[in-house]
Chains A and B, each alone.
Chain A
């Protein structure tokens, strides 16, 4: 296995690609959970009144 400190240019590029894909996946997942929550709660969100 190659030295993780001195990685090749190809390894750096592949790692950056994986990190960006993982970050995008996480962001999309957070957005998805937010949208599903709003849809599931429906009118309870928009019609909510403060006590």
Chain B
């Protein structure tokens, strides 16, 4: 699919309301930022390496600001798409409250500051990974994949999956297997999560010309692919208990939650979610047509499950719960 027209800034010339500082905060997508902070903190704590608390806080701040910077760059470039979708049309740039050029400037400045501070305060491996993540999200995902292929969120999911690796690298200066395992869990979680959402916001993506899987391959194919990814994702969530990362509480949460995840994916696969392209009554993310409730449930539970997995790992490492390392036990 050809790239859509380049974003323009003149829409903001018609701005009705002056830009408030809160609009610039909104450019940083604070809700997404909070999830990034949470997963990065889990990576940093799970590294089990003594870091000065001030430097640990600076590392998390750099990752948060870096995530905000890439969000601002995304909002600059995607203003044309955002203006066509109910979920995003009230964002500062499409709504005309902030000029596109200002969003671009904010993104570039915060990217440079976050990467440089990470390098100088922690280490350059973490800074390099942070720079790669920002560039991957802003350039590879936003400018290329998103408008070009139905695999956009699959490949682009790497950007959202890297924060725990950056956190781990910030603490230790290395990225061992367990850090990449956390990355793999988020990476495999992304397709079921976003495709469930896109099943019941399909008409929005179609209108904006974004080739999301339900738009390109149809709802039935998307529901099948969600099931396939769920079958791969849920066993992967058990892996930390085998590699010396997760303890008994983690194993229980991962197994129990994984079963619920699979049940919801199976229900969604049998449903007709995303089949009809009618209009919804409102803009609510969770208030959907009756037929799409299975997709909504899958979307909501996916957030809860990932949060529980990382919260459990975080809790176990903070409380000093001994990891299981079942792989070592099996080898013995």
Contact = CB atoms under 8 A, between A and B. Distances in A.
Interface of A: 1, 8, 10-11, 14-15, 17-18, 20-22, 29, 32-33, 35-36, 39-40
A10 B20 CA distance: 10
20 contacts: A1-B13, A8-B18, A10-B18, A11-B18, A14-B17, A14-B19, A17-B20, A17-B21, A18-B19, A21-B21, A21-B24, A22-B21, A32-B58, A33-B117, A36-B54, A36-B55, A36-B117, A39-B52, A39-B55, A40-B55
B33 interface: no
Nearest to A21: B21
Interface of B, helix, strand, loop or mixed by DSSP: helix
Listed residue (B21, B55, B61, B120) with the most chain A CB atoms within 10 angstroms of its CB: B21
Interface string B52-64: 1011001001000
Interface of B: 13, 15, 17-21, 24, 52, 54-55, 58, 61, 113, 117, 120-121
Contacts of A14: 17-20
A32 B62 CA distance: 11
Contacts of B17: 10, 14
B103 to A, nearest CB: 14
Contacts of B13: 1
Listed residue (B15, B18, B113) with the most chain A CB atoms within 10 angstroms of its CB: B18
The 3 residue pairs across chains A and B that have the minimum distance between CB atoms: A21-B21, A14-B18, A11-B18
A1 B15 CA distance: 8
Contacts of B19: 14, 18
A39 B138 CA distance: 33
Contact of A36 (B15, B24, B58): B58
Contacts of B24: 18, 21
